[in-house]
């Protein structure tokens, strides 16, 4: 049989196929997450989200009506610095359980067995491989059609058939997905050129990213081309066929961007940690990458913007190997006379967040703090997630491990990690220091070449 599911923010009900054998208990989900982290040697923890920070938003009106959700607990799971969707519950335990459940499908990745299934509020609906598709939940009211035998799915397919994405693009493949949505590699038929197309819910964060990118034109920032809205979402399930979903309370935003390498700076760091490159080679490679990141940050700050979520996972490489800063979903403006303003508390990724991001007032120096940690991570070889967490904890207090045998880089990095933001250097100053150091690293080689010539 085909199944029809209706999800409402008011009822928050969920239907489950009683014949599905993939149901597991909440405890099993958290245990699986724990086993996954142990197996992959990564750290994980749960973050409590303040009840007062959780709101419902009326997307059907021009004015936003915010109603606090009282007597509920909100937690999100963080694994190896990656944050997953917020789970909620009547108790702390239930909220953590739901957070684990929401993260589990993403952790499964390309595995051949389906993620667990729960008949509880605030969870994703997951299904068996043979009959049903796994459909990510939306926080808004939505209608989801599953099972190819369901005639209603053909209606959704007909809606999608003539949409801009599928009519103007082909050779579509999924590059990645997460709480933000999906990113696809797609060929634009008219130009016979490949692009990255990000598909997300048409929400404030997505619009903020588009608005920021549309004004940024720099070789070290992912290039934005254009965007458009569609009523339907295109999703590709790598295990079988495509999925379709229709949201009745929001549209989807399709963002066409420069296609970058699938490997991020985080992947680059992991590769270097798995091998043992010469120290001199890693220093040269690291300063080259650091220079390009600072170039991008300097440009962002010159535009009176703050990235707020600078980290290796958000730094990519262009097709020519050039560093590209991406993911501007948390970007904010520096608007007032003192270049400081009231901002969202604790916005960003915890490991790379500056101390003042736990407060309401901060400026672009939060990006400088994050850069210092990134440069530190570029140079330091670590063998485990636990070791990395220890080194990071000390580095945030300007304490460097004995394994960090880079004295000149230490002189550059240490000021960026000052607790007081006014004591951190500007991006322009860092740029000049890095240029001098990069030149110094080349000098011995140049002198040697001159001696050989003589």
pLDDT tens for 8-65 read 333 333 333 333 333 344 457 888 888 788 777 777 888 887 543 433 344 444 444 4
Q: What is the pLDDT of residue 6?
A: 36
Q: Is 100 within 8 Å of 29 (Cβ atoms)?
A: yes
Tokens of 115: 């993620």
Q: What is the pLDDT of residue 67?
A: 40
Angstrom distance (rounded) from CA 391 to CA 398 = 10
- Considering only CA atoms, which of 82, 93, 9 is closest in space to residue 48? 93
Tokens of 16: 């489950």
Tell me the CATH class for 146-257: alpha beta
Q: What is the pLDDT of residue 110?
A: 35
pLDDT band for position 129 (cuts 50, 70, 90): very low
- Considering only CA atoms, which of 210, 204, 203 is closest in space to residue 247? 203
Q: What is the pLDDT of residue 208?
A: 81
Q: What is the pLDDT of residue 124?
A: 33
pLDDT tens for 282-318 read 999 999 999 999 999 999 999 999 998 999 999 999 9
Tokens of 304: 């009176």
Sheet strands side by side (includes 232-236): 3-7, 142-146, 242-247, 232-236
Tokens of 246: 């229709």
Q: What is the pLDDT of residue 349?
A: 67
pLDDT tens for 321-373 read 999 999 887 767 765 444 444 444 445 568 899 999 887 678 999 999 999 99
Burial of 417 (0-12, 13-18, 19+ CB in 10 A): buried
Known binding-site residue numbers: 198
Q: What is the 3-state secondary structure (H, E, C) of 36-62?
A: HHHHCCCCEEEEEECHHHCEEECCCCC
Angstrom distance (rounded) from CA 251 to CA 297 = 32
Is pLDDT larger for residue 194 or for residue 385?
194
Q: What is the pLDDT of residue 109?
A: 63
Sign of torsion, CA 373 378 380 381?
positive
Angstrom distance (rounded) from CA 152 to CA 133 = 14
Q: What is the pLDDT of residue 265?
A: 96
Known binding-site residue numbers for ATP: 198
The pLDDT of residue 140 is above 60? no
Tokens of 450: 């001159």
The CB-based long-range contact list for 203-208 (8 Å cut-off, 24+ gap) reads 203/250, 205/329, 205/330, 206/253, 206/255, 206/329, 207/253, 208/328, 208/329, 208/330, 208/331, 208/332
Is pLDDT larger for residue 203 or for residue 156?
203
The pLDDT of residue 386 is above 60? yes
The pLDDT of residue 145 is above 60? no
Q: Is 354 within 8 Å of 362 (Cβ atoms)?
A: yes
Whether 309 sits among the annotated catalytic residues: the reply is yes
pTM passes above 0.75: no
CATH topology of domain 15-132: Double Stranded RNA Binding Domain (3.30.160)
pLDDT tens for 79-93 read 877 888 888 888 888
Q: What is the pLDDT of residue 328?
A: 81
pLDDT averaged over the chain?
A: 74
CATH topology of domain 265-453: Transferase(Phosphotransferase); domain 1 (1.10.510)
The pLDDT of residue 153 is above 60? no
Q: Is 224 within 8 Å of 260 (Cβ atoms)?
A: no
Q: What is the pLDDT of residue 158?
A: 42
DSSP codes joined into one string, 6-21: EE-TTT------TT-T
Q: What is the pLDDT of residue 454?
A: 38
Q: What is the pLDDT of residue 383?
A: 80
Tokens of 110: 């390309």
pLDDT tens for 172-231 read 999 988 767 899 999 999 999 999 999 988 888 788 888 888 889 999 999 999 999 998
Those residues with Cβ within 8 angstroms of residue 39's Cβ, 6 or more apart along the chain or in another chain: none
Q: What is the pLDDT of residue 335?
A: 52
Those residues with Cβ within 8 angstroms of residue 222's Cβ, 6 or more apart along the chain or in another chain: 213, 257, 258, 260, 316, 324, 325, 326
Candidates 81, 126, 309, 327; catalytic one: 309
pLDDT tens for 404-424 read 999 999 999 999 999 999 999
Please report, for the chain, the start and end positions of each structural domain, with discontinuous segments joined by +: 15-132, 146-257, 265-453
């Amino acid at each position: 049989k085909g199944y029809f599911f209706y999800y409402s923010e008011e009822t928050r009900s969920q239907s489950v196929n009683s014949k599905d054998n993939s149901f597991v208990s909440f405890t099993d989900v958290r245990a699986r997450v724990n086993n996954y982290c142990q197996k992959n040697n990564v750290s994980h923890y749960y973050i409590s989200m303040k009840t007062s920070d959780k709101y419902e938003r009326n997307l059907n009106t021009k004015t936003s009506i915010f109603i606090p959700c009282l007597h509920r607990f909100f937690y999100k799971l963080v694994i190896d610095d990656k944050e997953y969707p917020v789970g909620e519950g009547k108790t702390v335990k239930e909220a953590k359980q739901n957070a684990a459940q929401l993260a589990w499908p993403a952790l499964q990745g390309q595995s051949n067995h389906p993620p667990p299934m729960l008949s509880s509020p605030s969870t994703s609906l997951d299904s068996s491989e043979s009959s049903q598709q796994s459909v990510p939940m939306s926080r808004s009211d939505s209608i989801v059609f599953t099972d190819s035998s369901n005639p209603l799915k053909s209606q959704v397919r007909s809606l999608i058939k003539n949409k801009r994405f599928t009519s103007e693009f082909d050779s579509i493949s999924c590059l990645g997905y997460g709480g933000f949505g999906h990113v696809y590699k797609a060929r634009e038929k008219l130009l016979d050129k490949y692009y990255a197309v990000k598909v997300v819910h048409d929400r404030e964060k997505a619009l903020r990213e588009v608005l920021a990118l549309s004004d940024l034109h720099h070789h070290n920032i992912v290039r934005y081309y254009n965007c458009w809205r569609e009523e339907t979402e295109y999703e590709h399930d790598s295990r079988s066929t495509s999925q379709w979903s229709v949201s009745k309370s929001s549209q989807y935003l399709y963002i066409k961007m420069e296609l970058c390498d699938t490997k991020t700076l985080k992947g680059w760091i992991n590769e270097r940690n798995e091998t043992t490159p010469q120290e001199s080679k890693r220093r040269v490679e690291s300063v080259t990458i650091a220079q390009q990141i600072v170039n991008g940050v300097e440009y962002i700050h010159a535009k009176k913007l703050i990235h707020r979520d600078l980290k290796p996972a958000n730094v990519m490489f262009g097709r020519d190997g050039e560093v590209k800063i991406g993911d501007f979903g948390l970007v904010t403006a520096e608007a007032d006379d003192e270049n400081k303003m009231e901002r969202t508390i604790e916005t960003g990724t915890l490991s790379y967040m500056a101390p003042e991001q736990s407060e309401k007032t901060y400026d672009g120096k939060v990006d400088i703090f994050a850069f210092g940690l990134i440069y530190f991570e570029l140079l330091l070889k670590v063998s485990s997630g636990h070791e990395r967490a220890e080194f990071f904890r000390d580095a945030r207090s300007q304490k460097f491990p004995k394994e960090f045998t880079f004295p000149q880089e230490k002189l550059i990095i240490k000021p960026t990690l000052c607790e007081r933001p006014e004591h951190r250097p500007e991006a322009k100053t860092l740029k000049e220091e890095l240029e001098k150091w990069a030149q110094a690293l080349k000098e011995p080689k140049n002198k040697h070449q001159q001696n050989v010539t003589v």
